[in-house]
Amino acid sequence: MRLSFDEIQGEISRAFIAHGMSPDKAATCARIHTETTNDGVYSHGTNRVPRFAEYLDNGWVDPAAEPTLIKEFGPIRIYDGNMGPGILNALYAVEQGMALAQAHGLAMIGLKNTTHWMRGGTYALAAAQRGFVSVMWTNTESVMPPWGAKDSRLGNNPFVLAVPRAAGTFPILFDMALSQYSFGKLGVMQLAGETLPFPGGFDQEGQVSYDPATIIDSRRVMPIGFWKGSGFSFMLDILAAALTDGSGAAELDCKGMGSCGGASQVMILIDPRKLSSAETFEEHLLRSIGHLKSSPPLAGSNGAAVPGEGVLRFRAAHAEQGIFVDDKIWSEIKAL
C-alpha cells in the first residue's frame, strides 16, 4: 500500500510507545524507520519494526537507556550505549562526532554495548548533510565463514562512507554490508525460483553455492570478494571491539540478544571545510562524477551509478505516489 510519511511515523511511534518507549524516543526512532523506508531501504525501515518491538519485549534493548561517556582524549570519545536503542545511540554519537570534528577537523567516536543501528547510512547521511565526510562501521554477530573454514565466525559488518556535496545537492553515500547478498535478497530470489548470478554462500559442507535455498538453510553467506571480504570483515570486527573495549563477534555470538545486540561501532568524521573551500571540494566531486558517468552503459543497464543516487529516485517516486509499505508488514505494525 501507499501511505504518507506522517501516517507511517505515527503508527510506528504508537507501536514503540506500546512496547515501552517514551513518546519522545519513540517519535525519533519512528522518524528514522520512516526516512529509511522513504529512501527505499525497506529492509531496515518499516520491515524491521516488528522485530525491534520483539527485542523490546525480550529485554534485548533497554528503551530508557542513554549513552554514557567512558573515555575521551582530544578528538576521540568512547561511549557505552548501555544496550539502549541503536538508532538513538548512533544519532547521539554522530552529533558528538560532528561537534568534535568541527573543533579539531577530525574526530572519532566509539560506541560499545549498543544495539542494531538499522540503516548505517542514516548517520553518515546526517553528517554529510551538515558538511562532514565520514567513515563508519559496526560489527555484528557471525553470518559468514572465514575463507578456508566451515563455520560462521564473521559478521556482515556494514561499512559506510559519505561525502558532502554543495548545498542543496544530495550527498554521495556508500553503505555496504560485507556479505555479497543479504538474507532478504536471498529470500526474494528463492521465492522467484531463481539461481544467483554470482556465488552467494556455502552449503552445510562448506561448498560454494549459487542456490538461495541452500544458503538460507546453511546460514552461511559469501563475503564480498571471497577471501578479501573475509579478511576485511575480521578487521572491522576487531577494530570496533578493541578500540571501544567492547564486544566482537566472539562475544556477540554468545550473548544471544538478537542481531547486533551489544555491538561495537566506530565513526570517524572529517570536516573538509578546514582543508579547502566548498567550491574546490565540489569541483573535485564533479570531475570524478563526470569521469565515472562517461563510461558507456552496458546494453540493458542504466550505466555507472554514483553511490547513493538511487535514494533520490525512491524519494521522488514516494513523493508522487505515497511511500510504499508492504501490506503484511503494515498489518503487523498495526497489531503491535
CB of 49 to its own copies, least distance (A): 27
Which of 302, 321 has the CB closer to its own copies? 302
Eight-state DSSP code of residue 151: S
CB of 116 to its own copies, least distance (A): 21
Q: Is 19 a catalytic residue?
A: no
The upper half-sphere exposure of residue 212, i.e. CA atoms within 13 Å in the direction of its Cβ, equals 17
CA distance 175 to 165: 17
- Using alpha carbons, select from 85, 171, 192, 61 the residue that is nearest to residue 126: 171
Per CB under 8 A, 59 contacts its own copies: no
Query: 62-81 mask for its own copies (x: CB under 8 A)?
Result: ---------x-xxxx-x---
Position among 5, 31, 43, 106 found at the interface with its own copies (CB under 8 A)? 106
Whether residue 244 contacts residue 111, with contact meaning beta carbons closer than 8 Å, is answered with: yes
- Using alpha carbons, select from 35, 10, 44 the residue that is nearest to residue 259: 44
Binding part of the chain for its own copies, among 36-44, 85-93, 103-111, 319-327 by CB under 8 A, reads 103-111
Size of the site for its own copies (CB under 8 A): 84
Catalytic residue selected from 33, 44, 116, 318: 44
Classify 212 as helix, strand or coil: helix
Residues 132-161 that bind its own copies (CB under 8 A): 133, 135, 145-154, 161
Residues 213-272 that bind its own copies (CB under 8 A): 224-226, 228-232, 234-235, 237-239, 241-243, 245, 248-251, 253, 268, 270, 272
CB of 136 to its own copies, least distance (A): 12
Query: 297-316 mask for its own copies (x: CB under 8 A)?
Result: xxx-xxxxxxx---------
> Hey, what's the torsion of the CAs at 214, 220, 225, 226, to 10 degrees?
-90
Classify 162 as helix, strand or coil: strand
Residues 187-206 that bind its own copies (CB under 8 A): 198-199, 206
Long-range interactions of 42-45: CB distance < 8 A, separation 24+? 42/324, 42/326, 43/182, 43/184, 44/118, 44/119, 45/118, 45/119
Write out the catalytic residue numbers. 44
